[in-house]
A = this chain, B = another copy of it.
């Protein structure tokens, strides 16, 4: 398994960060078929495969504000006020994704991007592990 950990600067505001370019760069060493595994080794971030650039990244963060409000009713009380929501996020937006790779190329649909979803404002730098499992 080829595997590499990269760092992504997500800053101090919640964000949806497009990882597609990083995934393509990682796969430039691959010729064959298999699965790309995207993994975030953090308890307050997830991976989503959505369209970017037409408002849906903002819409996702807004929907999450509704489902997981940034209030103080969370039992987890470390970090900034409302940070407890960030710890529930990975149950709904998992910290992994798997994507087919065909001839070294991601089999993404036209409007799909691989995105890091980070609602945690306390952690400005994130690690992402990319792995290729040949099939």
CB distance from A5 to the nearest CB of B (A): 9
Is A125's beta carbon under 8 Å from chain B? no
Residue of B nearest to A32 (CB): B1
**What are the interface flags for A45-87 relative to B under an 8 Å C-beta threshold, 1 for contact and 0 otherwise?**
0101111001110111011001110000011111000001101
The listed residue (B1, B75, B109, B135) touching A55 by CB distance below 8 A is: B75
**What are the interface flags for A77-110 relative to B under an 8 Å C-beta threshold, 1 for contact and 0 otherwise?**
1100000110110111111111110100001111
Q: How many residues of A contact B (CB 8 A)?
A: 63
Measured between alpha carbons, how far is A92 from B90 in the docked complex, in Å?
A: 10
* Contact A131-B75, Cβ < 8 Å, known A43-B111, A84-B59: no
Majority secondary structure, A binding face: mixed
Measured between alpha carbons, how far is A127 from B112 in the docked complex, in Å?
A: 14
Measured between alpha carbons, how far is A74 from B50 in the docked complex, in Å?
A: 15
6 more contacts with CB within 8 A, not counting A46-B91, A56-B87, A100-B131, are: A37-B100, A54-B78, A63-B67, A90-B112, A91-B117, A109-B127
6 A-B pairs with CB atoms under 8 Å apart are A1-B135, A43-B109, A49-B94, A56-B76, A59-B74, A59-B76
> Which 6 A-B residue pairs are closest in the complex by CB-CB distance?
A1-B135, A55-B75, A41-B109, A48-B91, A43-B111, A56-B87
